[in-house]
Structure 1
Amino acid sequence: MSYNFLKKEKAPKILVEAYKLLGVTELLGKDNNPVILSWADAVGLKKQYTADEIPWCGLFMAYVCHMAGKAFPVNPLWARNWLNYGTPQTTAMLGDVLVFTRGTGGHVGIYVGEDVKCYHVLGGNQGDKVSIVRIQKVRCIGIRRTKWSVSQPDSVRVIQLGANGVISDNEA
């Protein structure tokens, strides 16, 4: 599936910042990607986040919020804490934060579109990198929208996409 439309999209700032990081990958073994570790430093979590083998979807989200000038929830490393971000929504739209179940834990990422069964989600620690994956809608436990300084951008809307690609069942 091609997501090239996002390059031209006047999307919410958190999505713009997230898109810039596509492809950042954690390092296997004892080595750590210094880029990912720098995110922890930038958002004040250097003591809590010390290795890229620690789940980092929440760190990624905190960093893109930071870069977009948006506040993020307390203890953002815990994916389910993103249920406290922004304002709750019933319909997911471009740039919304989506929170999913993942075993006994969770996963968090950004809506870029949807098909009949899945949301297409840009997030960190998806296959050990920043990527866009399809996640079943039934796993979504929260849709949260950024609080806007002035008004919601016109680009915040439902994006219908084709049902192409593998469905993720474990984002680590």
Structure 2
Amino acid sequence: MSDPAWLAEARKYIGTREIKGATHEPKILAWWKAIRRGGIKDDETPWCAAFVGGMLEAVGVISSRFEGAQSYLSWGVPLQEPAVGCIVVLGRAGGGHVAFCVGQDNWGNLLLLGGNQGDEVNISAFARGRVLGYRWPTAVPLPPPGPLLVGQAALSRSEA
């Protein structure tokens, strides 16, 4: 099975990072505009939700159109278990984080492709204990149940 369209789109931006100082990464500013938050004119404002929303909007899926990561807890439909391409909402002190699931590592941590992970777009491991919810776009058929890809297989584009 191939990646959902929004996940394939997200993979194109791995390595995009904030520009320190007065200059700002144009792609990050474009993601703010894509979610109708064009008044945000910098790449220092926490932008994980802008990245997720920008990827969804780029492929014709309406995002939460909000800058808060936890806005995705009421978006789409809930999943009981993670699936490749699902939106994962995480809790953290002072807020949240949102990203796309690409699989799990050898220790069971979720591998998430997201923006503003160390000030860049990358795939990072996150403990399942931080998960507040898994979400899927309402108008898109639900993914088939099954185990997540593990390790290196999860990091590269999955095609079957």
Counterpart of 2:82 (choices 89, 92, 96) is 92
Please give the alpha-carbon distance, in whole angstroms, between the structure 2 residues aligned to 1:74 and 1:133.
24
Helix, strand or coil: the match of 2:84? Answer: coil
In the TM superposition, what is the alpha-carbon distance from 1:29 to its structure 2 partner?
A: 2.1
In the alignment, is the contact (CA less than 8 A) between 1:12 and 1:153 conserved in 2?
no
1:8-65 residue CA offsets vs partner (Å, 9 max, x unmatched): x611111111111111111112221112112222332111x22101100000011001
Find the counterpart in structure 2 of residue 106 from structure 1: 96
Q: Structure 1 residue 159 and structure 2 residue 122: aligned?
A: no
Find the counterpart in structure 1 of residue 34 from structure 2: 42
Please give the alpha-carbon distance, in whole angstroms, between the structure 1 residues aligned to 2:142 and 2:133.
19
Q: Structure 1 residue 139 and structure 2 residue 130: aligned?
A: yes
In the TM superposition, what is the alpha-carbon distance from 1:148 to its structure 2 partner?
A: 3.8
Question: Between the two proteins, what is the percent identity of the paired residues?
Answer: 32
Q: Which runs of 5+ in 1 are unaligned?
A: 1-8, 164-172
Q: TM-score, normalised by structure 1?
A: 0.80
Please give the alpha-carbon distance, in whole angstroms, between the structure 1 residues aligned to 2:30 and 2:151.
35
What aligned pairs does 1:17-56 form with structure 2 within 5 A after superposition? 17-47=9-39, 49-56=40-47
Q: Structure 1 residue 121 and structure 2 residue 112: aligned?
A: yes
Equivalenced residue count is 151
In the TM superposition, what is the alpha-carbon distance from 1:153 to its structure 2 partner?
A: 5.4
**One-letter code aligned to 1:144:** R
Q: TM-score, normalised by structure 2?
A: 0.86
**One-letter code aligned to 2:48:** C
Runs of 4+ in structure 1 displaced over 4 angstroms? none
Find the counterpart in structure 2 of residue 57 from structure 1: 48
